[in-house]
Structure 1
Amino acid sequence: MDHYNELMARVVEAIKDGELPRLIPSLDCRVRLTVGDQKATLSIRNGEVALDGDAAQADVTVSASPEAWSRVLQTPPPATYHSFTALQMANEEFEISGLPLEIARARPALERLFELVVRAPTKEAAIVRRDITTVLGRYQPVSIEGTVYDIYFEETGTGVPVLFLHTAGADSRQFLAQLADTGLAESYRLMAVDLPFHGRSMPPASWDGAPYKLTADLYQAWCRAILERVVGEKAIVAGGSMGAAMALVLAAESPEHLLGIIGIEPPFRSKGRRNPYQHNVNVHGSLHNSAYVRGIMSPMSPGSERRRASWIYSQGAPGIYPGDLAFYSDEFDGAVTAPKIDASRTPTVLLSGDYDYSATPADGAKLADLIPGSLHLTMPGLGHFPMCEHPDYFRPYLMRALEFIRAAR
Structure 2
Amino acid sequence: MKTLLRLCVLLITICTYAQSTYIHCGKIVDTQSGKVLNDKTIILSGKTISSVQDGFVVPKDADVKVIDLKSKTVMPGLIDMHVHIESETNPKKYLEAYTLNDADVAFNSLHYAKVSLMSGFTTVRDLGGSGVNVSLRKAINEGKVIGPRIFTAEKALATTGGHADPTNGSKKSIVGNPGPKEGVVNSVEDAKKAVRQRYKNGADLIKITATGGVLSVAKNGQNPQFTLEEIKAICETAKDYGFHVAAHAHGDEGMQRAILGGVKTIEHGTLMSSETMELMKKNDVYLVPTISAGKFVSDKAKIKGYYPEVIVPKALDIGPKIQGMFSRAYKAGVGIAFGTDAAVFYHGDNGKEFFYMVEAGMPAIETLQSATITNAMILKMEDKLGQIKSGFIADIIAVNNDPTKDIKTMENVVFVMKEGKVYKQ
- Name which one, 1 or 2, has greater alpha-carbon Rg: 2
TM-score, normalisation: structure 1: 0.31
TM-score, normalisation: structure 2: 0.30
Larger RCO, structure (CA 8 Å, separation 6 or more): 2
